[in-house]
Amino acid sequence: MSLYRDQAVVLRAWKLGEADRIISLHTLDHGKVRGVGKGVRRTRSKFGSRLEPLSHVSIQLYRGRGDLDTITQVETIDRFGSLRADPDRFARAEAMLEAVEQVAQDREPDRALHMMLVRALSTLDRNDSALVMAGFFLKLLAHEGLQPQLDECVSCGAGEPLEAIDFNEGGVLCRNCRSGRPLSFEALQLLRRILGGDLGGVLAESTGPATGEVDLLATAILEHHLERRLRSVAVMDQTPG
């Protein structure tokens, strides 16, 4: 049993009893942890609002004998106010949180993943491009060793033209081997730039026809590897445009 401090992003929260909540967090130094926020649903709670999903916080927890720690102190680092004021960006941010909750292992430190999430939320707070979420999903896949092969046909090794992508095959396919779903040259170039480290350059440019294609592709690839649909993406799909 011990007391520890960390930085965390609130991934999810759900009710516990009459006044408490269970809070799922991704922390900088302790990985994914779950803690109990006692009394946070009461209107007089000191830090209930600081434990809303999307909050980036400095937090103190008490580790007991069970799976749930107890949250004892919370200070806000960033609430990402622009995200909360924009329903579309908020839904995209929630999808990123959901993806991290699915991928991250309990109490397995992963500083790279944590910093990647914080940077993505900060970027989305300033930039409403659909490619922020898409870029995060693609980089998350690469972080997990699931990056699609984009340089040559995964079936025969041929080069351009590459005209399709097959999630089961793990990458792009040439005209002779094509299966899966069609892939435009412009979308392929965007995928290569994002995974090649030029997401900032991509976001600085105006969006084009390939933007929506990459947005859908990145989500579909991630959901394929998770073997489940992201709830937040499903909600976005059902929301009238």
pLDDT in tens, 58-83: 999 999 778 899 999 999 999 999 99
Residue 188 corresponds to which amino acid?
L
Least confident of 10-19, 150-159, 177-186: 10-19
pLDDT tens-digit map of 77-89: 999 999 999 999 9
69-78 and 56-63 strand pairing: antiparallel
Give backbone dihedrals phi and psi of 110, rounded to 5 degrees, phi first: -150, 80
Domains and their CATH numbers in the chain: 2-80 (2.40.50.140), 129-238 (no CATH)
Label residue 233 by pLDDT band (50, 70, 90): confident
pLDDT tens-digit map of 27-49: 999 999 999 998 888 867 777 78
Does the structure show a pLDDT above 60 at 112? yes
Q: Tell me the whole-structure pTM to 2 decimals.
A: 0.94
pLDDT tens-digit map of 181-207: 999 999 999 999 999 999 999 999 988
d(Cα 221, Cα 191) in Å, to the nearest integer? 12
Q: What is the pLDDT of residue 45?
A: 74
Q: What is the pLDDT of residue 238?
A: 63
